[in-house]
Structure 1
Amino acid sequence: MKFGFSVIIVAFVASLIWKSSEAAIGAPNTFGSPPPSGICRGNKRGLKPADGTQIANGFCSSQLFGEIPSSSKMVSTRILFPQNGGFVKSNQNFTAQVKSVNLNTGFFSDAATDYYDLPQQLGANGAINGHNHIVIQSLGGPTDVPDPTVFAFFKGLNDPADGSGVLNQVVGTANKPGLSPGVYRMCTMTSSFTHQPLIMPIAQRGPQDDCVNFFVK
């Protein structure tokens, strides 16, 4: 009985990966989450099984890692603007610029309904299908650690990169332009299609993300 259930799970996930491996930006996920695994069925913390939504008080995912690239296709990211230690004018919109290598950009699911519910997938070129995010946080003292729930700006970069491989994002709006004066940190969060952190093939490597500290005056 246990063997039969395992076969069903493996077949289900294999079918899911095959059918959705070339999913485009914003494409709906019609495959659903896999049935709860043993660790999720038996967890003693009362965690709900993942259902594609963002459950703020925690949940248990039975999703598999999926397709993992070769070491020659690992993702690396650089923030081009703002520059580390650089200056930006206060209360004026500016364009943040990010560039990644070995990332097929433009693969971005609806995070309200398709969150962590597909395994990582590779494109035909062997690189991960995914997208990036930028998050900007105000910094306090030199040893203060920012609260991860508080940020001055957050945006998923869901469009494909431009011809130079650069992702551009305007920071600020017409109603609330730019950032107020202060010291800030901007980081990237590179993700696969349904927003999970990227899975790499080896442990000793450079990071897939970048951070810069900058001043707003």
Structure 2
Amino acid sequence: MTVSAGAADSNDNVAGNEKSSSILFGIVEEIIYSPLNLALVAVIVFLFYKIVKDRYEVPRDRSGDGSPPAPELPKLRRDFTIQELRAYDGNGPDGRILIAVNGIVYDVTKAKRFYGPGGPYSSFAGRDASRNLATFNVEPNNKEEYDDLSDLTAMEMDSVLEWGMQFKEKYPLVGKLLRKGEQPTNYDDEEEDSNEVVTENATASTVLTSNANSNDENVRKRVLPARMRRKLNK
């Protein structure tokens, strides 16, 4: 009885496999010999290929409207006054966008979707954005003179320094934001580490000015550790 039952199950399995193979063969045969079905299969395969390709292909640098990226602008190295900086708000002939943070001017043209005309942070373009970043304010900074940030709190000063470090890592350094009466630097014979020199000098100047005009000892205690952390992370 046991042998007969096993043989019956085996026969059922064989019959089931043969039936499945027959159905599969029939489907393949119907696809091959039907031009319409063959076309549908080709379309499905093509769409699947496009989905996989778009998912794993390295994204290209294109603007939001699908047009190719604008030609890269030549490198700019010079210092700026507050008034001179205003001309680089993205509305000029070349569309260049400059932003000053903590006394340093950066070229943020590649992020024009954020800082260019119509962008969420377009009010920073062509201006000193230090105070805006410290106070989380997107209103345009229309000060006509150099802002020494001496009235900021210790926490706000620390925020400015951290933002400055982020801009330094992401965008090309252009030069310094000049104080009243300060002479521009000649970058024709710049040193190998001129970027580091410019950044460190501006940072030190900001810290000294803040300490000289504030009785809050926490400014020095909070700012210096922030600079030390950046040096350790290099």
TM-score by length of 1: 0.27
**Structure with greater contact order relative to length (CA < 8 Å, sep ≥ 6):** 1
TM-score by length of 2: 0.26
Find the structure with the greater CA-based Rg. 2
Greater percentage in helix: 2
Greater percentage in strand: 1
